[in-house]
Amino acid sequence: MRQVYTFYADAFRIALQSILEHKLRAVLTLLGVIIGVAAVVVVGASISGLNSYVTEKVAKILGANHFMINRMASTGQISEEEYERRNRRNKKLTWEEYEYIKSRCTKCTEIGAQNNAGADLNQDGIEMPSTRIIGVTANMREIEDKTIGEGRFFSTEEVARSARVCVVGVDVKEKFYPNQSPIGQTLKVRGLPLNIVGVEEKRGSIFGESQDRHVYIPVTLHLQMFGRGNGIQVHGKSAERETLMTAIDEAQTVLRNKRKLIGSEENNFSVVNVQEVNNQVDGFTAGIAAVVIPITLITLIVGGIVVMNIMLVSVTERTFEIGLRKALGATRRQILLQFLIESSLLCVTGGILGIILAVGVTNLITFLAEITMTVTISYVALAVIVSSVIGIVAGLYPAYKASKLDPIVALTKN
């Protein structure tokens, strides 16, 4: 054991000494590995950051443990034929069906209703086109985990009597009431004056589209102003993530019973839940990773080729040293291991420096882009393992070539 330890310690010392004797060459050799490892880790952090960013935005917009029943809804792409088939078959949801589900879904902690429309706002010479006017029940605040930054949300009693009240998004507030509180002020929607009772906390934008350009009004008032159109949306919420699917199944069963659909008959409505949206996001980012990660790994392979080239140069330069060591009793295996240790040391050092560079880059991007990028252990491990394997592979041929040298011939080279 002592001999083994002494051999490896000496081999490591000689490898380190050889690298330090040619500092500039070592640095230039390491650049390929450093950039390759940094690229893999940064891309991995970007994918994780994108996943977290979208999931956070979805949770902020839709809330947690939330599902929606609608006439036509889908989280993925469907063919034109399938869309036309659903469009002919599916029926719009009525207010009566909403109340029926609400009274019978025991697994749902909340059941609410929503209706959507758009309108151009025009008041005191200020215009705001294409503003979302969203009619909701009072409990939609709990269902979608809405946060009111100023004032309050409207009450169940105000929804019941179709009160002329509204809660606005930050974009609407800043457009019509900049640098002042809009609470108690009036906002006209389609010429109807509404009393502003609250301002929703800023939600930001997702993929460049603002999530604060909207006005919430009682759904009963919305139906009077915009009509029933394609019917309402029914929104539900479960107490916990684990019981979400149970709540969805019960809500679907209740609606199927109401519509008298028999066992094998297909639903004539659509259901979307937050978990499905998150799964879509996971699939999307996994697809990106499957394409991008192999491309970045090519950079590491190029770095490995550079390492192999430098190791071949090193073998040529140290031919006399190799011959002397073999003449003094060094075996082929020991010579092989010596050069493998040297190439592996180069790549592992490059891997560590690449990780440090990647952490710096991800922190800089997080600061500048305001998107949290997370350096994940899996991508770090992947980069280190690949760089280590490349170090061994890159050193194999030069090490094999060194171990095959004839000591007598080698001693004549100086």
- The predicted-structure confidence for 168-212, as pLDDT tens digits, reads as follows 999 999 999 988 899 999 999 988 999 999 999 988 776 667 888
Cα 11 to the center of its chain, rounded Å: 45
Q: Which tokens belong to 137?
A: 């029940």
**Cβ burial, residue 411 (10 Å; 0-12/13-18/19+):** middle
3-state SS, residue 68 = strand
Residue 353 one-letter amino acid: L
Q: Which two tokens stand for residue 88?
A: 């002919």
CB–CB of 219/113 below 8 Å?
yes
> pLDDT value at position 408?
65
Higher-confidence position of 265 and 208: 265
Mean pLDDT of the chain: 80
What letters, b where the CB count within 10 A reaches 16 and e where it falls short, cover 350-365? Answer: bbebbbebbbebbeeb
Task: List, in order, residues 6 or more apart from 230 with CB less than 8 Å away.
Answer: 71, 72, 92
User: Six-digit token pair at 194?
Assistant: 């509404």
Q: Residue 353: its pLDDT value, please? A: 87
State how far the alpha carbon of 252 is from the alpha carbons of 41, 76, 235, 236, 345, in Å.
Answer: 44, 20, 12, 11, 61
Is the CB of residue 66 less than 8 Å from the CB of residue 143?
A: yes
H/E segment holding residue 113: strand 110-123
The winner for highest mean pLDDT among 77-91, 243-257, 386-400 is 243-257
Instruction: Point out which residues pair with 69 in neighbouring strands.
Output: 234, 271
Which one of 91-95, 204-208, 338-342 scores highest in mean pLDDT? 91-95
pLDDT value of residue 346: 78
Q: Quick one: pLDDT band at residue 402, thresholds 50, 70, 90?
A: low
Q: What is the pTM of this model?
A: 0.62
**Mean pLDDT, residues 332-361 taken together:** 80
Q: Which of 170, 192, 193 is nearest to 182 (CA)?
A: 170
Give residue-wise pLDDT tens across range 225-243: 988 777 888 998 888 878 8
Q: How confident is the model at residue 298 (pLDDT cuts 50, 70, 90)?
A: confident
Q: How many residues does the chain have?
A: 414
Query: What confidence score (pLDDT) does residue 81 get?
Result: 81
Rounded Cα–Cα distance for residues 274 and 280 (Å): 10
Region of residue 145 (phi > 0: left; psi between -120 and 50: alpha; otherwise: beta) = left
| pLDDT grade for 132, boundaries at 50, 70 and 90 | very high
